[in-house]
Amino acid sequence: MTLFIRASTLLFITFCGAFLSAETSRVCDIAARNASQQTDVPLNVLLAISRVETGRGRGEEVESWPWTVNVSGKGYWFENRNAALLFSLTQIDSNVRSFDVGCFQINFLWHGGAFSSMDEMIDPRKNALYAARFLKRLYAEFNNWELAAGAYHSRNEKFATPYKQRFRRVYAQLDDAPRSGEVVSGRSASTGLGSLISSSYGARQTLGSLVLLPESSSSLISFE
């Protein structure tokens, strides 16, 4: 009887853990949907970028994970928000400034000033909304969502090209995704927002990427 109770308890804990994990995996998607509604950035563009940035495998599917931190190209997936927040604050206490957080891997060094706190920066909805507004500005420049996705990652084509390839593959796997030709041009979002960040690029002023040129914030999904 005791053995049966232990087995039942273990099964229940395993089930609850799997359920909570599945629920957490939807957090970024919900945040992306909210950001899409507020900015008119196509939902599947946001879903694809979130998966490229924080995706991890669940069977044959790739899911985004909100409690992800990337330091020097190494990704850390945490079970809950508090653990990810504590790890991020520890980086700051250790004088580490360049690291990426949240559903869309926003870099603290270059974009932390746009948030009132690390807790706000790692918040899925605010993280997603910031990323969507950034993408919206990039789309206004490129008139092409795939090119905007590449620039979101890096202005350096060495890093942007494999990122765009991965973005294209992940995007194509999403349910109800328009054909690639449709997402490339897409419907332009309004461009009333002020520039989020600017950088010199060639002879003109353009929006900077989420990391400083020529470095690249490593996404957590391999490009192999």
Residue 164 lies in a domain: yes
pTM: 0.73
Per-residue confidence (pLDDT) for residue 175, from 0 to 100: 76
Residue 53 lies in a domain: yes
Residue 168 lies in a domain: yes
Residue 218 lies in a domain: no
Per-residue confidence (pLDDT) for residue 5, from 0 to 100: 40
Comparing C-alpha atoms, which of 85, 99, 54 is closest to residue 217?
99
Looking at the 3D structure of the chain, how many domains does it have? 1
Residue 44 lies in a domain: yes
Per-residue confidence (pLDDT) for residue 108, from 0 to 100: 97
Residue 214 lies in a domain: no
**Average pLDDT for runs of 10 along the chain of length 224:** 42 38 78 98 97 81 91 94 98 97 97 97 98 97 97 95 96 70 42 26 34 41 38
Per-residue confidence (pLDDT) for residue 61, from 0 to 100: 74
Which domain range does residue 107 map to?
A: 2-207
